[in-house]
Amino acid sequence: MVGRKSLVKRLLTVDLPMLAILTFTLGPYLWMLLTSLTSEDRLFTEGPSLVGATIENYVRLFATVGFLTNLVHSFIIAAGTVVVGLTLSVTAAYSFSRFSFRGKRYLLLQFLIINMFPVVLLILPLFVMMRVLGILDTHLALIIANATVAIPFSVWMMTSYMNGIPRSLDEAAMTDGCSRLGALWRVVLPLCTPGIIATGIYIFITAWNEYLYALTLGGRNVRPITVAIQTLIGEYEVEWGLLTSGGIIGALPATILFLIVQKRLISGLTQGAVKG
Amino acid sequence: MLTMNEPMGRAALARKVLPYALLSPAVLVTLAIVFFPMIQAAWMSLHDYILWKPKDFTFVGLKNFATALGDEVFWISLKHTVIWIALTIPAQLLLGLATALLLNQEFPWRPLARALVIIPWALPSVVIALMWVWIYDANYGILNEFMLRLGLIKASVPWLADPDTALYAIILTLTWQGFPFFAVMILAGLQSIPKSYYEAASLDGASTLRQFWHITLPGISGVLITAVLLRTIWVANSIDVIFVMTGGGPGYATYTLPLYAFIKARTNLDFGYGSSLAVLFTLMLLGLVVVYLRRAGRGID
């Protein structure tokens, strides 16, 4: 009897409220999914429903709107940002995690402070700078812009992962004749691989989702998915079936990747508390 | 100046320089793509600089800042920024706290709930804006239908087109987007509180509420402060969701300061004035940033 009573209590105080919060959390997403599966002419007569579900909106998205090109642009930019962000921060993270030196605290904090500045403050001068350099509307421009977020983030995350690897391991490698960099390359990096992958995936997601830089510094030749979706909103104002299918496709890669790495990422994020 | 003639000199020097050498790629690149542009922004803010008149780059001192202080839209945007932070952050915090407390309980589908609850965090802001515009749609939006059926409203409300509701509609969207971050941070804080504290308190006969007040809250206060600081800075800075949902409209109803700076530069191409607005806004945030950095700095070493 006691067990049953506490089960009822648990259902009322934990399961039900949790379900309510999840409904609020997932409701808008599921509503978008449902809308995207409803054909355009039924949408306004009967509203979104699973009855007569169709993928015609998705077909149209790729056939007539040309969403595939936008996906490719997004992929190039996000992958490029991952490469730049990770390679530039590996040695920096190693330095922060293994040495103590003058100015360490300030150098570490300068990476933290970067993510605190308003995007507007950076976006205007970056635009001017890239116009002078003639790289506006290229993949490079957007990779550079996204790197402003990715590098500091990656330095912080990798430093915290490397801190978790005992120094005695690099010292052992060095007594066996490895140089400092050899120890980093052969011992520390392989052990950090899960952390590096999680960091890389998070950078990928952020760059994939990024919108303001893409709009300002790209937009004509280089049109990542986020800009394409926003243009859809302007062009196909009332065709919600098409619009929501664009939203689903645009959100899909990030959502899947996030669900895969969420556990490891969150432990890293909450330790470092780097970025929202 | 180097002590090359001493046999130990070179190795010692190398050991001293190595940490900086390892740091240099990341530091130099961030100097070039972050700190240099920021100085440039500050420099631009002291000039009359309209993008389509590139030859016209006249130094005007603090004129742009003076203009801002006399600019009605600046004050409207500032007011909205304050309202927007004052409502969004507490809403995110409370919802996040409730979620974290629930996720800290034992129930069979907890891992699933924990994974699903953070989905809004992973979505592109453009997609978030898109789906909420659809929810708020005046003619076919589900929110109107829902509220009409419940009898909460008598006629459809154009949530985003009505100056009285637009800002609050966006605040709800932002709350939805940001509360999972609080939930995750607070959950980590909750899990760091030793179980034995609660056991001892139960033995002493402390009620759940008293336990929450005397054990849970002090235990997560550090995380709460950090999360509120970070989130305030982030919410204050974020303009992408508003930009896509309303573009600042109707009228100036959803202008916030960074959005105003962005629109000034983007549509009027007034980079001088836009930069000065961005600089002003940054200075306002600086207090929070300093507090946050102090807290973060304690954790280093």
> Tens digit of pLDDT for each residue in A20-65?
999 999 999 999 999 888 887 787 777 787 777 788 888 888 887 7
Partners of A24 on chain B (C-beta within 8 Å) are 176
Q: Which residue has the tokens 């749609």?
A: B137
Q: Strand, helix or coil at B70?
A: coil
Q: pLDDT at residue A260 above 50? A: yes
What are A109's strand-pairing partners? none
Q: Which residues pair with B59 in a beta bridge?
A: B47
Q: How many residues does chain A have?
A: 276
Question: What is the model's pLDDT at position B227?
Answer: 85
Radius of gyration of the CA atoms of chain A, in A: 23
Comparing CB atoms, the residue among A91, A126, A205 nearest residue B122 is A205
Report angle CA A219, B175, B164 to the nearest 5 degrees: 85
Contact A29 B113 (CB under 8 A): no
Residue A270 pLDDT class (50, 70, 90 cuts):
low
Is residue A131 classed exposed, middle or buried when 0-12, 13-18 and 19+ CB atoms within 10 A define those classes?
middle
- Tell me which residue of B11, B3, B13 sits closest to A179, measured CA to CA: B11
Q: What pLDDT is stored for residue A3 in this prediction?
A: 64
ipTM value > 0.95: no
- Helices B72-103, B217-237: axis angle to 10 degrees equals 140
| Distance in Å, alpha carbon of B29 to nearest chain A alpha carbon | 8
C-beta atoms of B98 and A21 within 8 A: yes
Q: Model pTM?
A: 0.87
Residue with the two structure tokens 């699973």: A50
CB contact under 8 Å between A273 and B184, yes or no, is no
| Radius of gyration (C-alpha) of chain B in whole angstroms | 25
Return the pLDDT at A275: 33
**Cα–Cα distance list, A144 to A77, A230, A244 (Å):** 9, 22, 30
* Long-range pairs, A101-109, Cβ under 8 A, ≥24: A101/B16, A101/B19, A101/B20, A104/B19, A104/B300, A104/B301, A105/B297, A105/B300, A105/B301, A107/B23, A107/B27, A108/A159, A108/B300, A109/B293, A109/B296, A109/B297, A109/B300
Closest CA to B165 of B47, B173, B282: B173
Rounded to the nearest integer, the mean pLDDT of chain A is: 85
Into which CATH architecture does domain A56-272 fall?
Answer: Orthogonal Bundle (1.10)
Q: Which residues of chain A neighbour B174 with C-beta distances below 8 Å?
A: none
| Core vs surface per residue B267-288: b (16+ CB within 10 A) or e | eeebbbbbbbbbbbbbeebeeb
Triad A86, A92, A97: Cα angle to 5°: 115
User: B4 Cβ partners below 8 Å, 6+ apart?
Assistant: B10
CA dihedral in degrees (A256, A258, A264, A267; nearest 10)? Answer: -150
With a CB cutoff of 8 Å and minimum separation 6, the contacts of A82 are A150, A200, A203, A204, A207
The whole-chain average pLDDT of chain B stands at 85
Q: Which amino acid is at A98?
A: R
**Contact assessment for residue A130 and residue A141, using Cβ atoms and an 8 Å cutoff:** yes
CA distance A206 to B123: 9
CB < 8 Å to B293, chain A: 109, 112-113, 116
**Dist CA B145 CA A44 (whole Å):** 13
CB contact under 8 A, A124 and B134: no
Instruction: Give the nearest partner residue to A28 out of B38, B132, B278, using CB atoms.
Output: B132
CB A247 to CB B127 under 8 A?
Answer: yes
Label each residue of B13-45 as H, E or C. Answer: HHHHHHHHHHHHHHHHHHHHHHHHHHHHHHHHC
pLDDT 10s digits, A174-213: 888 888 888 888 888 888 888 888 889 889 999 999 999 9
Residues of chain B with pLDDT under 50: 1-4
B136, B130 Cβ separation under 8 angstroms: no
What confidence tens digit (pLDDT) does each residue in B67-107 have? 778 888 889 999 999 999 999 999 999 999 999 999 988 88
| CA–CA distance, A202 with A276 (Å, rounded to integer) | 12
Mean pLDDT to the nearest integer, A104-123: 85
Q: How far is CA A155 from CA A201, B3, B114, B289, in A?
A: 14, 33, 27, 19
Q: In this complex, which of A119, A144, A148 lies closest to B237 when CB atoms are compared?
A: A119
Interface-testing mutation among A24, A89, A121, with chain B (most B C-beta atoms within 10 A): A121
d(CA B300, CA A164): 14
pLDDT digits (tens, 9 = 90+) for B115-136: 888 888 889 999 999 999 999 9
pLDDT of residue A105: 85
Place of tokens 């891992």: B111
Give the whole-angstrom CA distance, residue B5 versus residue A9.
80
Element (H, E) at B47: strand B47-49
Rounded Cα distance between B136 and B145, Å, is: 10
In A, minimum Cα distance to B41 occurs at: A125
What DSSP line would sit under A112-153, residue for residue?
HHHTTS-HHHHHHHHHHHHHHHT-TTSHHHHHHHHHHHHHHH
Domain ranges of chain A: 2-36, 56-272
Secondary structure (3-state) at B123: coil
Between CA B227 and CA B185 the distance in angstroms is 7
Could you give the 3-state DSSP secondary structure of residue A67? helix
Burial of A114 (0-12, 13-18, 19+ CB in 10 A): buried
Domains in chain B (CATH in brackets) are: 9-59 (no CATH), 65-299 (1.10.3720.10)
Give the bridge partners for B57, in sequence order: B49
The pairs formed by A71-77 with CB atoms below 8 angstroms and a separation of 24 or more are A71/A225, A71/A249, A73/A139, A73/A218, A73/A222, A73/A223, A73/A224, A73/A225, A74/A208, A74/A224, A74/A225, A74/A226, A76/A139, A77/A139, A77/A142, A77/A143, A77/A146, A77/A207, A77/A208, A77/A214, A77/A222, A77/A224
Those residues whose C-beta lies under 8 Å from the C-beta of residue A22, and which sit 6 or more positions away, are: B113, B116, B117
